Structure 1
């Protein structure tokens, strides 16, 4: 019976971690799209997009106390991964 409870708790913890991971991915994509929309009208480069994203994260984390550092780190990881993909695609397009 103890093992059953332990197994259930472990499965629930994994589901919670997976849900947090998915939420971070969605939030990262939302921030990236918002930064793209803000930057598109200005005609600036990718550095401004990155700056807008960083500013948005700083503003969001300072506006409330409910943010955990691990959540912020997870969000930044996904944002940096998305930006790395766009840089990679851009470099490949320039090489061709």
Structure 2
């Protein structure tokens, strides 16, 4: 019984480490995207946003395997990232 508990704890620890690694990876990618968007400027960012929304819409229409709820969640996260980036850009110009 003691060995079973130790094995379960080890597996839970591995899952937790993998989860933290995924969170760190996503956060790093979000920061990279935000930095790239700040570098592009407003007009290019608007074009990029339009292209991404069009690509996601086309993908959901062309495949039955892609759930609309998944696409909506992806676009919501993307839009949130764009809003944060625009907020940072606007406030950086004020100072």
The TM-score, its normalising length taken from structure 2, stands at: 0.52
Q: Does 1:87 align with 2:95?
A: no
**Conserved? CA contact 2:60–2:68, under 8 Å:** no
Number of aligned residue pairs: give it. Answer: 63
* Structure 2 runs not aligned, ≥5 long: 1-18
Q: Residues 30-78 of structure 1, C-alpha deviation per residue, up to 9 Å, x if partnerless? A: 9xx5xx69xx6xxx43211111111111122122111212111211110
Residue 53 of structure 2 corresponds to 54
Q: Distance in 2 between matches of 1:45 and 1:74?
A: 23
Q: Distance in 1 between matches of 2:61 and 2:75?
A: 15
Give SS of 1:45's match. Answer: helix
Q: Distance in 2 between matches of 1:72 and 1:45?
A: 23
Task: Quote the RMSD (CA, aligned, Å).
Answer: 3.1
Q: Distance in 1 between matches of 2:76 and 2:92?
A: 24
- 1:94, distance to aligned residue in structure 2 (A): 0.9
Q: 1 or 2, which has the higher helix percentage?
A: 2
Residue 72 of structure 1 corresponds to 71
Runs of 4+ displaced beyond 6 Å: none
Q: Distance in 2 between matches of 1:45 and 1:95?
A: 21
- 1:83, distance to aligned residue in structure 2 (A): 0.5
The TM-score, its normalising length taken from structure 1, stands at: 0.51
Higher CA-based Rg: 2
Q: Distance in 1 between matches of 2:78 and 2:72?
A: 10
